[in-house]
Amino acid sequence: MANGGGSGGSSGGGGGGGGSALRMSSNIHANHLSLDASSSSSSSSSSSSSSSSSSSSSVHEPKMDALIIPVTMEVPCDSRGQRMWWAFLASSMVTFFGGLFIILLWRTLKYLWTVCCHCGGKTKEAQKINNGSSQADGTLKPVDEKEEAVAAEVGWMTSVKDWAGVMISAQTLTGRVLVVLVFALSIGALVIYFIDSSNPIESCQNFYKDFTLQIDMAFNVFFLLYFGLRFIAANDKLWFWLEVNSVVDFFTVPPVFVSVYLNRSWLGLRFLRALRLIQFSEILQFLNILKTSNSIKLVNLLSIFISTWLTAAGFIHLVENSGDPWENFQNNQALTYWECVYLLMVTMSTVGYGDVYAKTTLGRLFMVFFILGGLAMFASYVPEIIELIGNRKKYGGSYSAVSGRKHIVVCGHITLESVSNFLKDFLHKDRDDVNVEIVFLHNISPNLELEALFKRHFTQVEFYQGSVLNPHDLARVKIESADACLILANKYCADPDAEDASNIMRVISIKNYHPKIRIITQMLQYHNKAHLLNIPSWNWKEGDDAICLAELKLGFIAQSCLAQGLSTMLANLFSMRSFIKIEEDTWQKYYLEGVSNEMYTEYLSSAFVGLSFPTVCELCFVKLKLLMIAIEYKSANRESRILINPGNHLKIQEGTLGFFIASDAKEVKRAFFYCKACHDDITDPKRIKKCGCKRLEDEQPSALSPKKKQRNGGMRNSPSSSPKLMRHDPLLIPGNDQIDNMDSNVKKYDSTGMFHWCAPKEIEKVILTRSEAAMTVLSGHVVVCIFGDVSSALIGLRNLVMPLRASNFHYHELKHIVFVGSIEYLKREWETLHNFPKVSILPGTPLSRADLRAVNINLCDMCVILSANQNNIDDTSLQDKECILASLNIKSMQFDDSIGVLQANSQGFTPPGMDRSSPDNSPVHGMLRQPSITTGVNIPIITELVNDTNVQFLDQDDDDDPDTELYLTQPFACGTAFAVSVLDSLMSATYFNDNILTLIRTLVTGGATPELEALIAEENALRGGYSTPQTLANRDRCRVAQLALLDGPFADLGDGGCYGDLFCKALKTYNMLCFGIYRLRDAHLSTPSQCTKRYVITNPPYEFELVPTDLIFCLMQFDHNAGQSRASLSHSSHSSQSSSKKSSSVHSIPSTANRQNRPKSRESRDKQKKENGLQMNRIMPIPEEHSNQAHEYPHG
């Protein structure tokens, strides 16, 4: 091919031949072009003529046909080195525009055919109307045949189209595989482009020897087949032809076939394969990898940004390495593909270092337009990508289980307060080594304080953001392998029913995902516990537990009405508290020594087998320094029961589980390791450790450390042998009163025999007016001050009344209950209270002193202050304002020194709801002078608080710091304040040992059982039942009482005696189990004090010195004969404390003088007790002025 660039006037116009031009081009860089200077026919020329030819070539305008391309000697390429890029580009353009032309032509013809057919159809319709019916039948037949043929053709085309649509859709496995394969091959083709980008833009390649070209050819054949499937399945062929993926195929598939035909390779527009990255998020969704909207959006932004970036870099790489066509490709520059990527990034970011830049006109023109779009994309996409990555769930991973380590899932109300309280108790050092990892799951990310708390416990705590209502999140925390799931409730919510409904939904979701998981959940309202029974997989026998805060809170308060301070003692027993040593001889020293005690369980050693419960209890207390209060046994029908202080009729069998009060878990192991042969002569309990002389491992089950829970309720992990209940105690034989109770026509107890019951009463019959209440003799009763209105949430007063109506009290021992509050609120609660006897209502307000004086609040045994409005206030410091004001109001009241005698006769007023035959309401009882109370400070009060810090306002004369923990404050230690927050510890206590919750519930609820809860769930009320030997036997259970040391059989120990001597004497003589002291706050002072405040001492040591004013917490046996005896009050001359008042039923134990000649046999003692008509209950000192009076109570 002739070069027309030479000058006709130049001398020596010959250069090298065509062969020399080829040799020269082989030494030039792949991206550089040269000119062929062969214009002479001479075969030999001098160097000067060559030089002249070179200079002349740079002066004249270059021509397109003077360019050559690099070739290899093995490929028979065009010897003139002509570029063929136009052939590759033409193949794509012809394919695109040719197909577009055919589609448009087909649409035009189809439109014209439709119009013609529409006109012809109208003509035939007119002919059909004009012709007769006989002719119409003849003309319709061929039309029907034609329609059938068209329908058959349409049906075939539709089937093929549907098949193609199924093949390319992601609805089927085949479609998903095909879509993923196409995307993977597209990325593979893009990688081949990256590899080939280091080669010249256009070069001669042998298809049979170029491996990358062969792979690229195979990929494009597959793309062509997939393009055909897409074309067939497309509903709108025109829009399909203009799709991005179609355009990519047009400019990448045809050039590959051209390269095979021409034995040439043109890098060309293969960079368009990068646009396939836009579908990356769709592919990940097909594979079920992307599920959240944020992750889908993030991948979309990244894929669009990267694909646009790589595609633009490919175009710059093409034009800069090729040059401008109108410049005969002379202004090219050698840039690698990755330099172009770098150039595009600095351009989009507006940095523009200038080290790499576009030289060609095409490149610069493209950069002008790209910088507008690229800058806009960079400015909008990058910040959004960074925001999505920054807002990406920090706690969105999955839990990885550690081999040999259990984990629990905690969800529900996750806040700094609830989590810190839970962790403080769960990870307490007294629990020994807790090899359990805690996984918190909540849908809101933790704040900085909560995050810091998690970091402090990072070795045992993990947090994941999610919801238990989402099965995916449950799978993330491995709920199926979790040991338990704990659900925390918001105790301070404004709508308790809504909070309970949320937690019930959480239980349903978790149980639906994994029915076998053990769940421990907090509930706010007692009536909502019934909904848990509707869940099929809910099974309390398998460890599922619902901790009802209202039930336990009101149960604790009710027990304080029977034994003041008991709520504080029980709350401290199931809460983990570290021992705080105080050297000074103050009340805090003795209180904190008791606070360090907790409740544990352990299997008893075989050395105790065959011994009675009191014997084992005494041995544990004296020798092992342990206090055992209950055991668990299985009856003959394999049902597990917990017996609290069962008495000497029960003999311990192999594998009995004991309930202990001790300071840490290691101490309780002494009961399991004790061996009579090895440890009988050991005086130091710390030396009692595992010995090798017996078969501890072989014959006993593995020792369950106190931190381990007894799963599945009862003794489900204990040996098969169980204690047998052997009764040899005459006291356990039903007395005459029980025989009388078995009246087929009278219902005195509920159907379970656990509670006193009466026929339902209308609320109008129990309402007292202020004048009626003032005329009524109320003494030794319980006053319940309740704040609430018609819109307040119900707090469940039934849970307060039920423990006070337990059947292990005789009828005449029941304390009368008077509610003072809004009648609108009490009407809403009355449906659950109308079956309980001795209940009255005084409509009014607890802030009215007239109402309080009308109910003789100065003569009550306990005043309870509750509020149903606490959670309706946003300011937490004001949540307890009503209760605090009521408490301060009562304490500031003044009363006369002498109460006076009620001026009433036999026609005295008997208020509605009160039984005149009751000894508490008899005129004789009413004329009894009570201990003088001149100020409200001496009235026993227990106040419910929501906010712990508000306890500082209850006592104005204490010195508690506002930041002091609740259990360290004086009102809580004295039992005059109770906060629901102390029940948080029950969650972890129940997890480690579900028997603890059963024991606490048995103590505080008066005997509520799962069967009773199921009955209440059905009818929402107690059902009366006829007395049978089976139901009356349920009355035979322990109850808590307080024993005074001022008088009675233990008076000799009250002045300087040892607590251990009192413990042993009470246990041996009366089967009474002592477990604490209620002592005057200033009893340790050498000078007398007028303060009547008392505090709680839990499980004092054996050598603890007693004082005469102490009240002893004890577990008393049920006395079957007390119901028919007439209680004789033996009054003491030592009762000088004004805070001790006569109870509504006062019983005394025979005095020391009367016991000098006491018979030794049990039968003789029982006979003497019947003759004397003496019974045991709460012993309260009686004023000296009444020491010579004796009052008899009619049989109740």
Q: What is the pLDDT of residues 60-113, one digit of tens each?
A: 343 334 444 444 434 445 545 567 778 888 888 898 899 889 989 988 888 888
Residues 592-620 as b/e (b if ≥16 CB within 10 A, e otherwise) read: bbbbbbbbbbbbbbbbbbebbbbbbbbbb
Sheet holding 406-412, edge to edge: 461-465, 436-442, 406-412, 484-488, 519-523, 545-548
Please report, for the chain, the start and end positions of each structural domain, with discontinuous segments joined by +.
18-82, 85-121+157-290, 292-392, 406-538, 761-902+914-972
Confidence of residue 229 (pLDDT cuts 50, 70, 90): confident
Residue 899 has pLDDT above 50, yes or no: no
SS3 939: coil
Highest mean pLDDT among 14-18, 707-711, 1069-1073: 1069-1073
Question: 758 versus 430: which is more confidently predicted?
Answer: 758
Distant-in-sequence, close-in-space partners of 894: CB < 8 Å, separation ≥ 6? 934, 935, 936
Judge whether 1061 and 583 are in contact, CB under 8 Å.
no
What is the rounded distance in angstroms from the CA atom of residue 1032 to the CA atom of residue 735? 11
Q: How many residues does the chain have?
A: 1196
Q: What angle do CA 597, 603, 607 make, to 5 degrees?
A: 110
Query: Which amino acid would we find at residue 458?
Result: F
Residues 1117 and 1067: beta-carbon distance below 8 Å? no
* pLDDT surpassing 50 at residue 760: yes
Q: What is the pLDDT of residues 925-977, one digit of tens each?
A: 333 334 567 788 899 999 999 888 888 888 877 666 777 888 889 999 999 99
What pTM was computed for the model? 0.68
Residue 911 has pLDDT above 50, yes or no: no
pLDDT digits (tens, 9 = 90+) for 802-856: 999 999 999 999 999 999 999 999 999 999 999 999 999 999 999 999 999 999 9
Distance (Å, rounded) from C-alpha 454 to C-alpha 472?
23
Q: Report pLDDT for 921.
A: 38
Q: Which two tokens stand for residue 43?
A: 């075969």
Q: How far apart are CA 631 and CA 998, in angstroms?
A: 12
pLDDT at 854: 93
What is the distance between the alpha carbons of residues 207 and 218, in angstroms, rounded to a whole number? 12
Lowest mean pLDDT among 185-194, 664-673, 690-699, 1094-1103: 690-699
Q: Are 608 and 675 in contact (CB under 8 A)?
A: no
And the tokens for 1083? 């009893």
CATH of domain 406-538: 3.40.50.720
- Looking up tokens 């083709």 gives 189
Comparing 577 with 1194, the larger pLDDT belongs to 577
Distance CA 1116, CA 1067 (A): 10
Percent of the chain with pLDDT over 70: 74
Q: 761-902+914-972 in CATH: which number? A: 3.40.50.720
Q: Is a pLDDT exceeding 90 seen at residue 565? A: yes
User: How much of the chain is helix, strand and coil, in % rounded to 5?
Assistant: 45, 10, 45
* pLDDT classification of 883: cutoffs 50, 70, 90: very high
Q: Which residues of 559-580 are buried (b: 16+ CB within 10 A; e: fewer)?
A: bbbbbbbbbbbbbbbbbbbeee
Report how far residue 762's alpha carbon sits from residue 767's, in angstroms, rounded to the nearest whole number: 9
Q: Which of 61-70, 271-280, 348-357 has the lowest mean pLDDT?
A: 61-70
Q: What is the pLDDT of residues 1102-1113, one digit of tens each?
A: 999 999 999 999
Confidence check: pLDDT of 716 > 70: no
Q: Is residue 1187 very low, low, confident or very high in pLDDT (cuts 50, 70, 90)?
A: very low
User: pLDDT tens digits for 398-420?
Assistant: 899 888 889 999 999 999 989 99
User: Per-residue pLDDT for 1149 more than 50?
Assistant: no
The tokens for 989 are 């206590």
pLDDT (average), residues 772-794: 90
Buried/exposed 1014-1030: b ≥16 CB within 10 Å, e otherwise: ebbbeeebbebebbeee
Q: What is the CATH number of domain 292-392?
A: 1.10.287.70
What integer is the mean pLDDT of 1076-1092? 81
Sign of torsion, CA 214 219 222 227?
negative
Residue 897: the pLDDT is 55
